[in-house]
Amino acid sequence: MPRLLGWSYAELPPHVRKTFEVALHAGSAPALVLALRGRPRGDLRLLALTLAPPALTGLVLERPVERRLGGLRSVAAAQALAGVALLLADRAPQRRSAPDALDHLAVGGAQALALVPGVSRSGAALTAARARGLTREASASLALWAALPVTLGAGLLKGARLARAGIDPGLRIPLAAGTAASLASALAALPLARRTRWGPVAGYRIALGLGALWRGSGERRKLRGS
């Protein structure tokens, strides 16, 4: 989004960008908690299967992936491809409403793929659940439950790192604004968890990714021309 809107976000020091990303995690977590109210929790042992793959993958590969796949083209391509995957997965028949161990493991593996910037954690989980033949309602519930511990864990881990490094007092107002915006947008998106079809969401992601790729190609043409 900063590149599409022409902001100089990429020029900020890495620790400032990381601090802001932690603030966004903090904002979305309460919305996830609200989204899960009234939804069946499921077996905690099975839910652990959704946590293990992203936790292990994140501990080992988080920083190498961020260094190598954080550019505009890779993020935009991941966004578009993830949208296509969701669109195709949502065509699967709705055969089951009770997820089993393989469903949880598939969702955990999908969340591990979300380590790649541009791949939504909840979107990847939803895609895996629908591809496995779960109903849309069951897929939404499983995706939300699977995203909560990973979101909280990532926020706590990155927050602890930042606390050790220290936070610039001048960032407090921007961080508070980012946290509030993240919470507001996540709350506004809660009705999407009850959608009957996910095609419009997939279409939005494809359009966003292709738009960013187009913007990036235009920037490269200008640089070559100059």
Is residue 131 predicted with pLDDT exceeding 80? yes
Picking from 179, 86, 186, 176, the residue whose alpha carbon sits closest to that of residue 139 is 86
Is residue 223 predicted with pLDDT exceeding 60? no
- Of 20-34, 122-136, 147-161, give the range with the top mean pLDDT: 122-136
pLDDT of res. 144: 84
Number of domains in the chain: 1
Range of the domain at 194: 2-225
Mean pLDDT in residue range 83-96? 92
Q: What is the pLDDT of residues 12-21, one digit of tens each?
A: 777 677 777 7
Is residue 128 predicted with pLDDT exceeding 90? yes
pLDDT of res. 191: 76
pLDDT of res. 96: 92
Report the C-alpha gap between 176 and 20 in whole angstroms: 9
Q: What is the pLDDT of residues 157-166, one digit of tens each?
A: 766 766 676 6
Look at the block and give the residue holding tokens 């055969």.
95
